[in-house]
Structure 1
Amino acid sequence: MEELKAIKGYYRPIQPTVKVDNGDIVYREVRPGKDVENLIYCYWQLTAVKPLEKPFIYRVVSDGCIDIFFNHHQLDENYIMGFCRKYTEFQIGKEFNYVGIRFLPAAFPLLFGLDAKRLSNQSQELKAVLPKFSKWIETNLSTDDSLDNVTFQIDNMLAEIIQNKDFEIDGRFFNSLKLIFQNKGLLDTEKDLMMGLSPRQLRRVFDFYIGTTPKAFSNVVRFQYILNAKPSTQSLKENKLYLDVGFFDQAHFIKNFKTFYGVTPSKAFQ
């Protein structure tokens, strides 16, 4: 599992479109337990403190991860969302309490042996993908559970799967993944990722473990690097961070950023 530990050290997939607490809506992240920390970046909760005046539209930015999430008020409403090439918006109503599991890149296919490509660019009911996991959420969790108790139970369930799992690690793929993270997504995937795999083989393993091509994933890593830098609108103009990650002009950067975030950098960082 050292390969996954390295991923955790290099990559921080964040979702910044909801402030931690804006009064009516609370977004919270909880770190996983030690037994699962190399597979899961975080557990998260998005909840309305009180009924809203109008339905809330939740924007999910591209982060390279696979998420399982469920309605804590109605546990049979559980879903999975794969890698997304662009931002996604959900209208989730006036009252909601969603809890999710954000798996680190490659962790979900490694743990469950499922092809990430079949999950890409969509959300679908979890029972269509992992019926036993879906049923476990319905029968083992309670709508009265606190978030800490929910995450504790999921920790234990996933830790048991890990303990009984014989992981088959493709070192060539994980070395390629590590190189993408080390270079903040700025590299020529056709030339720089020669790890004993042909370009076709590389695309195949990335499709399975990530759900997209090495180039598309690298673009998301580059985008997430910018988010993690937490630039202000002013610093973006003065320091031109986008030049450091391979954009030759501001117009190209803004167009690319809007694809992954849904709004322009000036609006995102205002």
Structure 2
Amino acid sequence: MYTQRIKPTPKLSQYIAHFWLWEQNNITTLPNMLPGTGVEMLFNFGDLLKLKTYQQSQLHTNDSVLVCPRKSLIQFQATGKTKLLSIRFRSAGFFTLFGLPLTELSDQAISTEQLLPTSLLAQLIEAKSDIARVTLLEQWLLQKLIKVTNQDFALQWAIDKIYYQNQSDSITEVKHQLKCSERTFQRKFKLFTGVDAKYFERTARFQSTLKALLTAQSTQYLAVAFDHGYYDQSHFIKDFKYYTQSTPSGYLTEQNFSLNYYQTI
């Protein structure tokens, strides 16, 4: 198994968290993609890959899909060699670049045929290396960025503020600083993220906690949970079961420590 995380060019860093590559030659278990706050554009340069969320779909060789897991996890089933390249968009990044409401994309696997130029797909298939593919994608995204004329910097700031602050009053503080009505705030927030602010905050808190546990390869979860804003054990376990469909003891295992989408190798 080989994984690599590639940082985007600085001009794209506020829209894209990173590119990542996942490659393995054997048919082995792939980790579930848990409900999250961002958007993934997945390019399959390996064998057929099966995806399951609310619906069953297939990602054929040289095809690509957009996934936006919010209230359901995505299961992957390899049928042979796996070679996935992904663009991981930040929470507010995808809507800013493409203008597609995330309320229409959540919990689905959607073909990127209408988003990517045919010529770009051909270039990606023919590229000699993964770095060359990332370069092609960055060039395309930079062209998209040039055409963005109506960025909502205030809401982008608000979403980042809620995502990175594990504080119970983050939403209240953000709404106060934005000086807009509750209805306007929630309507815009859902366009950018696909969910309301409270659910987004809940997901961000769990993501941050789980990432810390997996990175540290720790089964001692209570102290980490409290550090990330959980107020008691039952509160954390309830969220853990909701997002992973497992208990902490069932999920925090050697397999998930070595096989997860938070890897930094």
Q: Does the C-alpha gap of structure 1 residues 267 and 133 become closer, same or farther in structure 2, counting only changes over 3 Å?
A: same
Q: 2:93 aligns with which of 107, 129, 132?
A: 107
Q: Does the C-alpha gap of structure 1 residues 174 and 155 become closer, same or farther in structure 2, counting only changes over 3 Å?
A: closer
What displacement does 1:182 show?
A: 4.7
Q: 1:94 aligns with which of 61, 80, 96?
A: 80
In the other structure, the counterpart of 2:65 is 79
Q: Which runs of 5+ in 2 are unaligned?
A: 47-59, 254-265
Q: Which runs of 5+ in 1 are unaligned?
A: 1-24
What displacement does 1:223 show?
A: 1.0
Percent of paired sites with the same residue: 20
In the other structure, the counterpart of 2:161 is 179
Q: Does the C-alpha gap of structure 1 residues 88 and 257 become closer, same or farther in structure 2, counting only changes over 3 Å?
A: same
Alpha-carbon distance in structure 2 between the residues aligned to 1:117 and 1:57:
27
Residue identity matched to 1:168 = Q
In the other structure, the counterpart of 1:45 is 21
In the other structure, the counterpart of 2:40 is 67
2:166–2:229 contact (8 Å) kept in structure 1:
no
Residue identity matched to 2:70 = C
Q: Does the C-alpha gap of structure 1 residues 86 and 234 become closer, same or farther in structure 2, counting only changes over 3 Å?
A: same
For residues 200-211 of structure 1, the aligned pairs below 5 Å read 200-211=183-194
2:33–2:69 contact (8 Å) kept in structure 1:
no
- Whether 1:255 aligns to 2:231 is no
2:3–2:23 contact (8 Å) kept in structure 1:
yes
Please say which of residues 219-228 and 180-189 is displaced more in the overlay.
Answer: 180-189
Alpha-carbon distance in structure 1 between the residues aligned to 2:26 and 2:226:
43
Offset from partner CA, 1:61-90 (integer Å, 9 cap, x none): 233101111111466511001242243212
Q: Does the C-alpha gap of structure 1 residues 87 and 41 become closer, same or farther in structure 2, counting only changes over 3 Å?
A: same
1:203–1:214 contact (8 Å) kept in structure 2:
yes
SS of 1:42's equivalent in the other structure is: strand
Q: Does the C-alpha gap of structure 1 residues 154 and 247 become closer, same or farther in structure 2, counting only changes over 3 Å?
A: same
For residues 4-43 of structure 1, the aligned pairs below 5 Å read 25-43=1-19
SS of 2:32's equivalent in the other structure is: strand
In the other structure, the counterpart of 2:259 is none
Residue identity matched to 1:181 = Y
In the other structure, the counterpart of 2:198 is 215
Please say which of residues 202-211 and 158-167 is displaced more in the overlay.
Answer: 158-167
Aligned-CA RMSD value: 2.5
What displacement does 1:40 show?
A: 0.9
SS of 1:58's equivalent in the other structure is: coil
Q: TM-score, normalised by structure 2?
A: 0.78
Residue identity matched to 1:30 = I
Q: Does the C-alpha gap of structure 1 residues 57 and 249 become closer, same or farther in structure 2, counting only changes over 3 Å?
A: same
In the other structure, the counterpart of 2:221 is 236
Offset from partner CA, 1:200-252 (integer Å, 9 cap, x none): 21211111111111011101110122134335545424xx2323444333233
In the other structure, the counterpart of 1:10 is none
